[in-house]
Chain A
Amino acid sequence: MIADDIRQAIVDILSDITPDDDLTELKEDVAFAEQLDLDSMDFLDIVMELRKRYRIQIPEEDYPKLASMKSTVEYLEPVMKEL
């Protein structure tokens, strides 16, 4: 997957978690927590959805890298390259 596909994958996951939110205005480098008011339970869900959908394991110490769209895509690009 390339960066755009990964971005779309994350948007799909987020829109499943918060179906009432408008994600078209999502800013690249502002934390999800700030924009969408996500809590720690929701973060865990992003990780678990990635595991469920793409069979990728994200170690706990890397969770902070999923803070914003920009950092998430950067982190996932090498991991999801072959998918």
Chain B
Amino acid sequence: MYDTVIIGAGMSGLAAGIRLAHFEQRVCILERHNVIGGLNSFYRQGGRNYDVGLHAVTNFTPKGTKRGPLARLLRQLRLGWDELGLIPQVGSEVAFPGVRLKFSNDLELLTSEINRHFPRQKDNFQRLLSQVVDYDQLGAAGSDRSARAVVGGFIDDPLLVDMLFCPLLYYGSAREHDMDFNQFSIMFRAIFMEGLARPLAGVRLILKKLVSKFKALGGELRLRTGVNRIAVKEGAVEKVVLDNGTELETRRVLSSAGWRETMRLCDGDDQPAEQPAGKLSFIETISVLDTEPRAMGHKQTIVFFNDSEKFHYEKPDALTDLRSGVICSPNNFVYDQPLAEGVMRTTALANFDRWAELDEESYRLEKLRWYDRVVASAVRFVPDFRSAVIETDMFTPTTIRRFTGHEDGAIYGAPKKRYDGRTHLDNLFICGTDQGMVGIIGAIVSGITIANQHLLKA
């Protein structure tokens, strides 16, 4: 009999596992995949290490900071600040037609850029800042309002509104075009008020740290172990049945598989009404270069770009939407030693259904075709790096589906978030993407919060 079975060995499941194992629960984490990490996994190919999803860790705050999600998770997981090896960004940019806004891990830069390019919005931006909800106030009355409506009430230049939304939507919105003001506040703090960072070795450093901590506390991790169903009896989880038929008895289950995905695992017909699945999925091209990006004149860490009058954050009709995207160079963090090679990653919105319906041959061809198109789109906003490319890789919406199990390759899960983590069953809880916090730090905090609120009570 386990105290808690956790579904999914991503950031949130591992963090929850550490909390529970630390306080002497018998915990088992089940992971369908043969590697840990979920959306933030990693792989090795052709002798090179790649990260799956990571551009940058958001919510970065310097050593010694006491407030905010990073400081909180370090205390909760008993980690020292140095252990995550986070190195801050050089500086990033939002590039729209005719105007570029720089931002860094110091809010002052964004503020001065707004004052310079949008002088009429100077006071409006300050008023917006004063309204951004604090982490402790999440879920408070009114914070589920449309963020577009709230922000539009302060800032009356639609171009600036779109430019502020672009990074926040791309790095965390499960909803098309908009997000609730809760989510906006989380993302605004994470990206503009705290900041971006990355470990030199990439996401594997963080994952390995979490796994070794979990195992050292006596936690059990089973890879290649899918859950077939959750057996329900009298309004509670009775046991967890694995794909191979094994039955696990447990007092509680914590699932990071996603809300809909978790509901589908549950036996019985008393499940809550079906919620819409997320529609937003991405394609990403990875270009390995024979030189450092900055040697080609590219100094930014992340460039969020859009070429149109309006910014369209929505599921495209075509396989991929070339109007906007995110260009990340993992080299452009202030490491004290360079990465082995130059890398440029470009993300763009993509249509899961269109990618999923391709047969194997067409899928391969479309990948090649869209690699070229996405990179051609990106080099309108950064120096043309194509002559330096020595290796490429790519993920599509179907890759996301494979790594995360998220229906429709919905990178940020379902639009409706479950901030309290509860379900229709007394002893089944959810954490991770569909609980409400995204990004690496957000996911870890999600696992910790739900573990504390629901699973650590005696």
Tell me if B's interface is mostly helix, strand, loop or mixed: loop
Tell me if A's interface is mostly helix, strand, loop or mixed: helix
How does the 8 Å CB contact mask read for A36-71 relative to B, with 1 for contact and 0 for none?
111101101100100010000000000000000000
Interface size on B, residues (CB 8 A): 16
How does the 8 Å CB contact mask read for B63-103 relative to A, with 1 for contact and 0 for none?
11011000010111011110000000000000000000000
B42: min CB distance to chain A, Å? 26
Contact present for B72 and A48 (CB under 8 Å): no
Confirm or deny: B452 has a beta carbon within 8 angstroms of a beta carbon on chain A.
yes
Known: A37-B66, A37-B67, A52-B23. A18 touches B456 (CB 8 A): no
Confirm or deny: A25 has a beta carbon within 8 angstroms of a beta carbon on chain B.
no
B342: min CB distance to chain A, Å? 33
Confirm or deny: A1 has a beta carbon within 8 angstroms of a beta carbon on chain B.
no
Q: From A20, A45, A48, give the contact of B81 (CB < 8 A).
A: A20
Residues of B within 8 A of A38 (CB): 75
Contact present for A41 and B452 (CB under 8 Å): yes
For B83, the closest partner residue in chain A by CB is A19
Confirm or deny: B24 has a beta carbon within 8 angstroms of a beta carbon on chain A.
yes
Contact present for B452 and A18 (CB under 8 Å): no
Residues of B within 8 A of A37 (CB): 66-67
Confirm or deny: A23 has a beta carbon within 8 angstroms of a beta carbon on chain B.
no
Contact present for A20 and B63 (CB under 8 Å): yes
Kindly state the separation between the CA atoms of A17 and B63 in the bound complex, as whole angstroms.
15
Contact present for A45 and B67 (CB under 8 Å): no
Known: A41-B72, A48-B23, A52-B23. A17 touches B452 (CB 8 A): no
Confirm or deny: A16 has a beta carbon within 8 angstroms of a beta carbon on chain B.
yes
Kindly state the separation between the CA atoms of A52 and B22 in the bound complex, as whole angstroms.
9
Contact present for B78 and A48 (CB under 8 Å): no
Contact present for A19 and B80 (CB under 8 Å): yes
Known: A37-B67, A48-B456. A18 touches B75 (CB 8 A): yes
Kindly state the separation between the CA atoms of A48 and B133 in the bound complex, as whole angstroms.
30
For B65, the closest partner residue in chain A by CB is A37
Residues of A within 8 A of B24 (CB): 52
Residues of A within 8 A of B78 (CB): 16-17, 19
Contact present for B80 and A45 (CB under 8 Å): no
For B24, the closest partner residue in chain A by CB is A52
Kindly state the separation between the CA atoms of A18 and B23 in the bound complex, as whole angstroms.
17
Interface size on A, residues (CB 8 A): 15
Contact present for A39 and B72 (CB under 8 Å): yes
Residues of A within 8 A of B66 (CB): 36-37
A43: min CB distance to chain B, Å? 11
How does the 8 Å CB contact mask read for B1-43 relative to A, with 1 for contact and 0 for none?
0000000000000000000000110000000000000000000
Q: From A17, A48, A52, give the contact of B75 (CB < 8 A).
A: A17
A13: min CB distance to chain B, Å? 11
For A19, the closest partner residue in chain B by CB is B80
A7: min CB distance to chain B, Å? 21
Kindly state the separation between the CA atoms of A18 and B72 in the bound complex, as whole angstroms.
10
Kindly state the separation between the CA atoms of A72 and B454 in the bound complex, as whole angstroms.
27
B159-183, CB < 8 A from A: none
Tell me which of A16, A19, A20, A39 has the highest count of chain B C-beta atoms within 10 A of its own C-beta. A20
Tell me which of A17, A41, A52 has the highest count of chain B C-beta atoms within 10 A of its own C-beta. A41
For B456, the closest partner residue in chain A by CB is A48
Residues of B within 8 A of A44 (CB): 452
Residues of B within 8 A of A39 (CB): 72
Kindly state the separation between the CA atoms of A44 and B452 in the bound complex, as whole angstroms.
9
A17: min CB distance to chain B, Å? 5
Kindly state the separation between the CA atoms of A42 and B448 in the bound complex, as whole angstroms.
12
Residues of A within 8 A of B76 (CB): 41, 45
Kindly state the separation between the CA atoms of A42 and B66 in the bound complex, as whole angstroms.
12
Given A20-B80, A37-B67, A48-B456, 11 more contacts at CB 8 Å? Answer: A17-B78, A19-B79, A20-B63, A20-B64, A36-B66, A41-B72, A41-B75, A41-B76, A42-B75, A44-B452, A52-B24
| Chain B residues near A (Cβ < 8 Å) | 23-24, 63-64, 66-67, 72, 74-76, 78-81, 452, 456
| Chain A residues near B (Cβ < 8 Å) | 16-20, 36-39, 41-42, 44-45, 48, 52
Give 29 A-B contacts (CB < 8 Å), ordered by A residue: A16-B78, A17-B75, A17-B78, A18-B75, A19-B78, A19-B79, A19-B80, A20-B63, A20-B64, A20-B74, A20-B80, A20-B81, A36-B66, A37-B66, A37-B67, A38-B75, A39-B72, A41-B72, A41-B75, A41-B76, A41-B452, A42-B75, A44-B452, A45-B75, A45-B76, A48-B23, A48-B456, A52-B23, A52-B24
